[in-house]
Chains A and B, each alone.
Chain A
Amino acid sequence: MTTLDLNEATRRPFTGRRVRFGDVALQVVAGTAALAVTVLVGLIVWKVVDGARLSIATYGLHFVWRVAWNPVVGREVYGAGSFLFGTAITSLFALALATPLALGIALFLSELAPRGLRAPVTALVETLAAIPSVVIGLWGILVLGPALRTHIEGWLHSVFGFIPLFGDPSAAGASIFTAIIVLTIMILPIVSSISRELFLGVPHELKEGALALGTTRWEMVRGVVFPYARGGIAAALILGLGRAMGEAIAVTQVIGGGVFIHWSLFGQGDTLASKIASSYQGSTTNLSTSSLVYLGLILLVFSLLANVTAQWIVRRVARRHGVTRGGHA
């Protein structure tokens, strides 16, 4: 009896080595899903390039900087110049406004907040990220825009009017300025929650060492926390920038539209994403549809660049910190 049992037991590993149908099946099914994701990303790139082909063939690279958008049949001319300008000015200004705020929030949550406030404030800031863009846009055009026009734009114009950025206040509240504020609100929670995690990851020995040397809390932050998290902050900012460039709906609602390059923040404009959102349904000719997809292609290239750069920085930073930590241990 005992010998028989032993035989049974010793045979087990050998059956285990045999290729099992179930293992292969699960691996193939799951592997196919992973392959499908890869194919999906490739398909997105290919379909967008394919959709833009007519416009690329007609205008070539010239399209990218030409300032024109005339869909009148027979006099069609399209170009991305003004939308690129609008995208750059809205997303860069939004990033400039959001960065100090987001870093302040992250410092508050990681260093300053009393224990009882930490969790609820973190939850509230992340809730801000959950508000759909169409709701922010609705609020932006019906509440924020008019409020900015009556209270802020006029004041900025009268005080800083000599700077071309602060031109005449907008007519109806729809302006590049409103779009900048809306985008700031939308990227604020992203940048702050990534930065918060980075700050929490700074080793306690470094922070305490600095404080023990007699620094104030701010000097500790400036001398230890910021340098340690520098790479990660850069990645967070790039991700925020990518998010701001790609936001379509809320910007479409508040920016007003138009094909021109001007320096006044209180004028109307369009970004790559908002132009696509506002014109896609009304597009009548193949060339205009294809040109809108070309705008999407430019947007896709920028957001892919931003994302890959940010991920590259994150991975590099993680590896370096992993190595230094391993070295200390």
Chain B
Amino acid sequence: MSAQGLSGPGLRLDRLPRRRAVNRLMELLAWLAAAIAIAILGIVVYSVARKGWSELNLNLITKAPIPFSLTNAPQGLANAFAGSLVIVGLATAMALPVGILVAVYLNEFAPAAVRNGVGLILDVLNGVPAIVVGIFVFGLLVVGHGQNGFDGAFALACLMLPLVARATMEVLALVPNSLREASLGLGIPQWRTTLSIVLPQTVGGIVTGTVLAVARVAGETAPLLFTSSLVGTQTSWDPHHALQSIPVAIFELSESPDPADHARAWAAALVLLMFILFASLAGRWLATRSRAKMATR
């Protein structure tokens, strides 16, 4: 197939200067494309940092919002921070064990056909739009019962599950088969081989995958809009009621006409962005470290 591409008129020697110029232009455009992507990142992060900085103080985390406030009493988003911690924590607690088990089954037990089939289903689940997951959990759990923090956590867990499972599968595949065979050869049953020989090798990779998954769902708004958004302003840690969350708070404040609300939205966005950037960097660092460790083994 490559021969066809090469036999075009572009290869004529007498047109060498022109071909060089085209090459130069294309290289320049590729550099430019990379520069544009980095510039966009810089502009977004800079805007959020500049606009969020002024409102970034302890009040944001400790004070509750005051609806229709006419005074200048300090307001914060304490309810959103508490709610996000609870919801994301619960979602991780739901998705992590199931995700690991799915990966263990697919990698250690399942026949190839099942592995491919369920692997495709994981990819499909990963591709379901977050807002459709929101509608789904609304129809499954919220209708007739009302919103609560568990529903929100379940919706986020649906989004985390394929990420955790895929990440675990990737590191399980890196564990050398000789290790499994050595363990089985010593007469250790398969379940103990899997749980105490194979899985401990993958802890680094699972932690990485989980950190990245947490970073991804901590900023999800759409699923929480339907499952945990009709909330008061008091700070609550109890997932039996609907809990506010940072992304939903940013979304609602951004739709408000009041500039003071925008300022708090920027500050919350700054905190969220810092958390997510930190988590992604930590995840990447962990990933390179665990990969290096695996390679030396």
Contacts and interface: CB of A to CB of B under 8 A. Distances in A.
B19 interface: yes
B127 A31 contact: no
B219 A132 contact: yes
Contacts, number: 300
A22 B56 CA distance: 53
B136 A48 contact: yes
Contacts of B250: 134-135, 138
Nearest to A9: B187
Nearest to B33: A104
Contacts of B138: 51, 280
B132 A303 contact: yes
Interface string B1-41: 11011101011010000011011001101111110111011
A126 to B, nearest CB: 7
Interface string B93-107: 000001001101110
B139 A293 contact: yes
Contact of B273 (A12, A16, A131): A131
Decide if the interface of chain B is mainly helix, strand, loop or mixed.
helix
B135 A23 contact: no
Interface string B158-180: 10011001000000000000000
Contact of B251 (A121, A124, A125, A134): A134
Given A20-B189, A134-B219, A192-B37, A38 B131 contact: no
Contacts of A277: 131, 222, 225
Contacts of B8: 223
A276 interface: yes
B226 interface: yes
B37 A125 contact: yes
Interface residues of B, number: 98
A69 interface: no
Given A23-B189, A138-B250, A227-B2, A38 B37 contact: no
B128 interface: yes
A108 B19 contact: no
A246 B129 contact: yes
B40 A128 contact: yes
Interface in A205-236: 206, 209-210, 213-219, 221-224, 226-228
Contacts of A215: 6, 10-11
A111 B10 CA distance: 20
B132 A38 contact: no
Contacts of B32: 104
Interface in A289-329: 292-293, 296, 299-300, 303-304, 306-308, 311
A249 B105 contact: no
Residue from B102, B129, B189 whose CB has the most chain A CB atoms within 10 Å = B129
Contact of A248 (B44, B48, B222, B230): B222
Given A41-B125, A130-B276, A48 B225 contact: no
A130 B1 CA distance: 37
A22 B33 contact: no
B216 interface: yes
B225 A280 contact: yes
A281 B230 contact: yes
B6 A104 contact: no
B121 A41 contact: yes
A142 interface: yes
Contacts of B251: 134, 137, 249, 253
B296 to A, nearest CB: 19
B105 to A, nearest CB: 3
Interface in B129-171: 129-133, 135-136, 138-140, 158, 161-162, 165
Contacts of A25: 191
Interface of B: 1-2, 4-6, 8, 10-11, 13, 19-20, 22-23, 26-27, 29-34, 36-38, 40-41, 44, 47-48, 51, 98, 101-102, 104-106, 108-110, 114, 118, 120-133, 135-136, 138-140, 158, 161-162, 165, 187, 189-192, 194-195, 215-216, 218-222, 225-226, 229-230, 247, 250-251, 254-255, 262, 265-266, 269, 272-273, 276-277, 280-281, 284
5 shortest A-B CB distances, which residue pairs? A132-B219, A246-B129, A104-B33, A223-B5, A30-B105
Given A128-B41, A209-B2, 4 more contacts: A25-B191, A126-B284, A224-B6, A273-B131
16 contacts: A16-B187, A22-B190, A33-B102, A44-B128, A109-B34, A112-B27, A123-B281, A125-B34, A132-B220, A132-B247, A135-B273, A138-B48, A216-B22, A273-B131, A280-B135, A311-B123
